[in-house]
Copies of this chain bind each other. A is one copy, B any other.
Amino acid sequence: MPDAVCAVVLAGGSGTRLWPTSTDARPKPFLALSGGKSLLVETFDRAARLAGARNVFVSGRRSHADLIRHELPGLPESRMILEPARRNTAPAVALAALVVSEEGDGVMAVLPSDQAVRDEAAFDAALRTAAEAARTHAAFVTLGIPPTRPETGYGYMEISEENHERLSSNGKEVAARVVRFVEKPPREAAERYAKDGRHLWNAGIFVFRVSLLFEEMKRTCPDVLDAARRAHAARQAGDLSSFAEIFSSSPSVSIDVAVMEKASSVLTVPCACGWSDLGSWDAVLDFRAKSPGANVIEGRAEVRDGRDNLVLAGDRPVRVIGLSGIAVVDAPEGLLVMRRGASDELRKSVEESLAVRP
């Protein structure tokens, strides 16, 4: 391998639809929502299997530094990139790429840590394929998740069927060219996408050569790159107050909007790995249920005469009696009792209460 492979784990992410467990003080990546380790640790492990643990960087909010250290006690301080403010993913990825490039050009993978994967081996294989493609092609290479339902809340990537690029020598693994990004399609379109074989979910996972990112950002979002360069210089000089000031002045924009949608060449590696964004309690139950209709129970909880429930108990025993298809989440911040499928109502409720908070 002529070029080093690095991975950057994005430790951001939140979720009003995961009230009361996910909070600003302890958001999604720091929770064991998939039923195993925290999502951050699971994502770090994925990154480490690709790049080696010492080549994994973690990008997160400064206010979460202690949470990150607690979850990843072996992570060197030099591998932590702490942001003084939330400016969405484009400034975070640019800054991380600049830190990575201190050690020379190379291939960099970006992995958001607000996700879970059932088939880790399938994920690993797809990510290796993507890294190989990014090494040999001047392209951003994403992972594309084949849709399993007509989801209207996700971003889709449309691929050109005529233009597959055969990448591996055994002919088994291919990447497709992305011809269009579609964000949160209407219901009808989503139903078509779920069946036409030409649309994949954008999981926000992508690999690229660092030098390519800088070239493309110079063209598509020079203000973001410029702010990142100046912030990075202040950081290198140890001037943390300038760093904070400059970084905070960067435009707040996602890497998808700032770069990917305008990039000259985007490929995607289809990856049917049982991926979930665990974006709602419905998604958490779907991901964790051992069989359709089974209850998912955590802690001292009893479900009697009920199925298809998610029950996450807190310190106290919980009894759920005569009810099916509900989520019960008991956390220090509050208690949620919700019908399956009502996640949007939960989001509205949480947003309204945040809006009226003084």
Contacts and interface: CB of A to CB of B under 8 A. Distances in A.
A189 interface: no
Residue from A319, A332, A341, A342 with most neighbouring chain B CB atoms (10 Å): A319
B345 A322 contact: yes
A31 interface: no
Interface in A293-316: 302, 304-305, 313-314, 316
Given A323-B326, A326-B323, A318 B337 contact: yes
Interface in A1-31: 19-20
A184 B46 CA distance: 63
A316 B335 contact: yes
A333 B316 CA distance: 7
A328 B333 CA distance: 17
A123 to B, nearest CB: 33
A339 interface: yes
A324 to B, nearest CB: 9
A122 to B, nearest CB: 35
Given A316-B333, A332-B316, A334-B316, A321 B342 contact: yes
A335 B317 contact: yes
A349 interface: yes
A307 to B, nearest CB: 13
A114 interface: no
Contact of A337 (B20, B328, B332, B346): B328
Question: How many monomers of this chain does the complex have?
Answer: 2
Contacts of A317: 20, 333-335
Residue from A20, A334, A349 with most neighbouring chain B CB atoms (10 Å): A334
Residue from A318, A322, A333 with most neighbouring chain B CB atoms (10 Å): A322
Contact of A302 (B323, B326, B342, B349): B349
Contacts of A322: 338-339, 341-342, 345
Given A345-B304, A345-B305, A319 B332 contact: no
Nearest to A340: B322
A184 to B, nearest CB: 22
Contacts of A346: 319, 321
Contact of A319 (B302, B318, B337): B337
A336 interface: yes
Interface of A: 19-20, 302, 304-305, 313-314, 316-323, 326, 328, 330, 332-339, 341-342, 345-346, 348-349
Given A304-B345, A319-B338, A322-B342, 11 more contacts: A20-B316, A304-B348, A319-B335, A319-B336, A319-B349, A321-B336, A321-B339, A322-B341, A323-B337, A323-B338, A337-B337
